[in-house]
Chains A and B, each alone.
Chain A
């Protein structure tokens, strides 16, 4: 195995140099690693959270004897199946703080990683369809203001000015009365996040191991000792499970039953259009969100299919509903053709909030239950997981998401549907 020394930086100079050689000599950005027999830290899951944790362990804590292992290929999981939306317009401080910290990190991430993650801060507009919903948005905006996060309550006319294509007539299916705007929100190119973190972590000495599925967790005397893959055992002093779909299986391998269920969420893109939508826009009655990518595609998503499944392929009804809502909001887009749809199996927790926690098994850390809101917090979760593992303590920002909160009753009910994961967003 070859150890990497330093990062070969992307810059205007490197671009010019490689242009002279016809772009034929670019070095491989991310090495293909075979696992060694043991590491200080093994991270299960090379998604955004796992890769970010490896990056922060290596960069901030000097722990470089780290492997990130994944059952599939880099960027094949939920890190690239989400709708790329980044925001922090939460009501509860616990949810808001971690999303706020992430926004700060997103803003500098391209420079940190020396990799353009294409963060576009177009802002997010949540539409309100009744005056009582607007009151609720005012309450949420106030909660955000208390955290020091700017949010603006919009009148119907202000919404119309920002979204000229939106049907705000009183005869539309769901008339609009106003909205909530967070200007710092936006979208990030999600596969660049996976590649950027992987490249940065690898250049600091982290091994990125693909196509190695963890089938068992080994332990001795109540402490984790490593993981088992079909290719052999890998020893580890500490193990982080940063897995979404399948986290319940990994946890069972560690002797834990989780307050988590697997569900499927679909998304879709249309053919590319000229710029028509600057913001991320969400509907206030039907769970629906749409944005326009830098390539011009409209990227849309809706509800999970609504029953436990391990199949990363959904039924037609949630997508049909999403498309119906899109057309009711933007009638001028009714002739746009759908280009592609896909799905991802997501880890729905019992209170709709994540689990970011140490566990009864010593040295085994769990990061799961992000429902379908994990992408936006990737940078902060990486930072928190690294701190937890490096220092053996729980940072205040992670404390509300302890695994034992369900037994103790200190749940984090941002939406408050009770233990019905199929109702959460």
Chain B
């Protein structure tokens, strides 16, 4: 089972977390005047890397912080975990 080490709570099973998806995309600053292609790219297009993937995880049954995790999708190895205080991004 995937184990994510929460900076606040320590190593916990994936069943304590809720997935929040790809964290690599930045929401366009000017959503009022953004064109369709830019909005499409933000909302729908994914890199889907075979390798390191930046993603959101919510520690729903723990500290309830949104963590930003870098995980290798080909090995399930967790490469980095950041809480918002450590510069992680909220979804």
**Chain A residues engaging chain B, CB cutoff 8 angstroms:** 248-249, 257-262, 306-311, 315-317, 350, 406-409, 419-422
Contact A419 B44 (CB under 8 A): yes
Q: Which residues of B contact A (CB under 8 A)?
A: 1-2, 14-15, 19, 21-22, 36-37, 39-41, 43-48, 50, 53, 55, 71, 73-76
Nearest 3 CB-CB pairs, A to B? A259-B44, A407-B40, A248-B48
A308 neighbours in B (Cβ, 8 Å) = 22, 48, 53, 55, 73
**Interfacial chain B residues near A260, Cβ < 8 Å:** 46, 48
Nearest residue in A to B15 (C-beta to C-beta)? A317
Are A258 and B48 in touch, CB under 8 angstroms? yes
Q: Which residues of B are found within 8 Å of A421, using beta-carbon distances?
A: 21
Asked if A420 contacts B48 (CB within 8 A), the reply is no
Partner of A261, one of B22, B39, B43, B76: B22
Tell me the bound Cα distance from A421 to B71 in angstroms.
18
On chain A, the residues within 8 Å of B73 by CB distance are 262, 308-311
Alpha-carbon distance A259/B43, docked complex (angstroms) = 9
Assess the B36–A259 pair: CB atoms within 8 A: no
The contact of B47 among A257, A307, A407, by CB within 8 Å, is A257
Q: Which residues of A contact B22 (CB under 8 A)?
A: 261, 308
Say how far A343's CB is from chain B's closest CB, in angstroms. 13
Min C-beta distance of B64 to chain A, whole Å: 18
Q: What's the least CB distance linking A286 to chain B, in Å?
A: 15
Query: Do B36 and A407 touch across chains, with their CB atoms under 8 A apart?
Result: yes
The smallest C-beta distance from B53 to any residue of chain A, in angstroms, reads 6
In this complex, the member of B46, B73, B74 whose beta carbon has the largest number of chain A beta carbons within 10 angstroms is: B46
Known: A262-B73, A306-B19. A406 touches B40 (CB 8 A): yes
Identity of the chain A residue whose Cβ is nearest the Cβ of B2 in the assembled complex: A315
Starting from the known contacts A257-B45, A308-B55, 9 additional A-B residue pairs (CB-CB under 8 Å) come to A257-B47, A258-B45, A260-B46, A262-B50, A309-B76, A315-B1, A317-B1, A421-B21, A422-B21
